[in-house]
Amino acid sequence: MTRPIEALIHTDALQNNLARARAAASGARVWAVVKANAYGHGIAAVYDALKAADGFALLDVAEAEQVRALGWRGPILLLEGCFDARDLDACSRLDVWHVVHRREQIEWLAAHKTHVPHHVFLKLNSGMNRLGFAPAAYRAAWLRLDALPQVDRIGLVTHLADADAAVDAGSDGASEDPHALPPSVARQVERFEAATAELPGERSLANSAATLRFAASHPAVRGDWVRPGIMLYGSSPDHPAHGSAAWGLEPAMSLRSQLIACQDVAAGEAVGYGSTFRSERPMRIGVVACGYADGYPRVAPGGNGAATPVLVDGVRTRLVGRVSMDMLAVDLGPVPGAHVGSEVTLWGRATSGAVLPIDEVAAAAGTLGYELMCARAPRVPTRVVP
Ligand SMILES: *Cc1c(COP(=O)(O)O)cnc(C)c1O
């Protein structure tokens, strides 16, 4: 028998989450962000569910080629633009739109031979200080692009650093309004508005957090295109302030395995490498075919205090001991009927329908759902289910 681990990709969840993004976008068009191989889900695995989007946003030419090969004829956007001048040939050939965030990318365009003028999005660094032209250089970059015969349309884009940030509740203790703009977001939006004032072109600012929280109430954040990524995959962009269920999101990936052994452990015995876990009373332990070489985080705690949640036969229990390369151990106390072959859901949806949000596992491990889903190892096969 093959090793019993797989990542189920839930078509219905992807469709639901895309519909949530579309509803939140209140009329703006929706880029489905499928960079990083669709956040670890596999571009081919999510394509059918996400092709109801208005476009696909991704990182490199290979991903763009894959989306075209799957039959997509609509817009594709390279979120970081071209990495070298040769990428422009692929953009011409595949009709791919691209972000322009630094001067060299404009020079490459000026030297590019093409019969098809390009659709580009000029990026403003509105305060995140990652990519984009400074406000003072933005208009000159726009004018230079506008003068190029290689350029047809110019969209206007920026990225928000703190769209997931909490807004301090008022001193009166009033409960926080998730739709109020955090000050840093307000500042970035102001800078974007000032730098783009009177420039024509479509605007795009919002990732998942900004789409869910601000797109409906703040037209300036909504713009003409929103760029949701993480929410499509069912992870809440502002966990733990709001869980995925609060945003109406469903897990698009279920990482499932099985018990491959059970152990009866006497009180005071240790479990796993380093003997970091010791049982306080006699307990039954299940050994799961999943480890850090599958993308499960090694740092996920399995102590007697805060421990990482896991589902066995759909019942919530916890990790015990350290995560090994190929295995981890779980407490079978809450699941007395569990046996070798019992289903283990590391995150996502169990066969019973019980859900363990990836965000809860990530929080226990001190990281985000983003990192866990992107880290699914190639040795874990994906299976697309309706
Ligand atoms: C990754 C990315 C997004 C999507 O962000 P999420 O937080 O996953 O919604 C949007 N825009 C840009 C520029 C990105 O790089």
The residue from 178, 200, 235 where one domain ends is 235
pTM equals: 0.96
pLDDT at 361 over 70: yes
pLDDT at 130 over 80: yes
Phi, psi of 223 (to 5 degrees): 60, -155
The residue from 235, 263, 278 where one domain ends is 235
Domain range enclosing 53? 11-235
Q: What percent of the chain has pLDDT over 90?
A: 95
Average pLDDT in the chain: 96
Atom 6 of ligand 1, nearest CA residue = 229
**Residue 283 annotated as binding site:** no
Compute the distance from residue 57 Cα to the ligand 1 centre, in Å: 9
Would you say residue 240 lies in a domain? Answer: no
Would you say residue 305 lies in a domain? Answer: yes
- The answer on 15 and 119 residing in a single domain is yes
pLDDT at 1: 66
Cα torsion for 356, 358, 360, 365, to the nearest 10°? 130
pLDDT mean over 19-41: 98
Q: Which of these, 84, 383, 112, lies nearest to 255 by C-alpha position?
A: 383
- pLDDT-derived band of residue 179, with 50, 70 and 90 as boundaries? confident
pLDDT at 305: 83
- The answer on 220 and 330 residing in a single domain is no
Compute the distance from residue 227 Cα to the ligand 1 centre, in Å: 6
Would you say residue 245 lies in a domain? Answer: no
pLDDT mean over 271-287: 96
- The answer on 314 and 277 residing in a single domain is yes
- The answer on 301 and 228 residing in a single domain is no
Would you say residue 6 lies in a domain? Answer: no
- Residues whose beta carbon lies within 6 Å of some atom of ligand 1: 33, 35, 79, 159, 207-208, 227-230, 237
- The answer on 267 and 373 residing in a single domain is yes
Atom 3 of ligand 1, nearest CA residue = 207
The residue from 235, 265, 281 where one domain ends is 235
Compute the distance from residue 285 Cα to the ligand 1 centre, in Å: 40
Active site residue 233: no
In whole angstroms, give the CA distance from residue 23 to residue 292: 37
- pLDDT-derived band of residue 346, with 50, 70 and 90 as boundaries? very high
Compute the distance from residue 280 Cα to the ligand 1 centre, in Å: 45
Phi, psi of 72 (to 5 degrees): -75, 125
Please identify which of the residues 51, 123, 273, 292 carries the catalytic annotation: 273
pLDDT, tens digit (0-9, with 9 covering 90-100), for 287-299: 999 999 999 999 9
Active site residue 273: yes
Domain count for the chain: 2
Please identify which of the residues 35, 39, 123, 138 carries the catalytic annotation: 35
- The answer on 359 and 220 residing in a single domain is no
- The answer on 380 and 277 residing in a single domain is yes
- The answer on 220 and 326 residing in a single domain is no
State the pairing for strand pair 328-331/315-320: antiparallel
CB 261 within 8 A of CB 340: yes
Q: What 8-state DSSP symbol labels residue 280?
A: S
Atom 4 of ligand 1, nearest CA residue = 229
CATH code for position 189: 3.20.20.10
pLDDT at 174 over 80: no
In whole angstroms, give the CA distance from residue 309 to residue 300: 9
- The answer on 66 and 145 residing in a single domain is yes
pLDDT at 175 over 70: no
pLDDT at 167: 82
- The answer on 195 and 160 residing in a single domain is yes
Q: Quote helix, strand, coil % in the chain, to nearest 5.
A: 30, 25, 45
Distances (CA, A) of 117 to 46, 84, 93, 149: 30, 18, 11, 7
Would you say residue 35 lies in a domain? Answer: yes
In whole angstroms, give the CA distance from residue 239 to residue 178: 12
In whole angstroms, give the CA distance from residue 101 to residue 106: 9
**Residue 325 annotated as binding site:** yes
- The answer on 297 and 191 residing in a single domain is no
In whole angstroms, give the CA distance from residue 100 to residue 134: 13
Would you say residue 355 lies in a domain? Answer: yes
Would you say residue 246 lies in a domain? Answer: no
pLDDT, tens digit (0-9, with 9 covering 90-100), for 101-123: 999 999 999 999 999 999 999 99
- Least confident interval from 24-28, 214-218, 289-293, 305-309: 305-309
Would you say residue 1 lies in a domain? Answer: no
CATH code for position 339: 2.40.37.10
pLDDT at 304: 83
Both tokens of residue 346? 């590391």
- pLDDT-derived band of residue 306, with 50, 70 and 90 as boundaries? confident
- pLDDT-derived band of residue 54, with 50, 70 and 90 as boundaries? very high
Q: What 8-state DSSP symbol labels residue 342?
A: -
pLDDT at 22: 98
Instruction: Looking at 26-152, list the stretches that DSSP marks H as alpha helix, in order from N- to C-terminal side.
Output: 35-39, 43-50, 61-69, 87-94, 103-110, 135-146
Could you list the beta-strand ranges (E) of the chain: 6-10, 29-33, 55-58, 76-78, 97-100, 118-123, 151-157, 203-204, 225-226, 253-265, 270-271, 277-278, 283-288, 309-312, 315-320, 328-331, 343-349, 355-356, 382-385
Atom 1 of ligand 1, nearest CA residue = 229
- The answer on 303 and 160 residing in a single domain is no
pLDDT at 176: 67
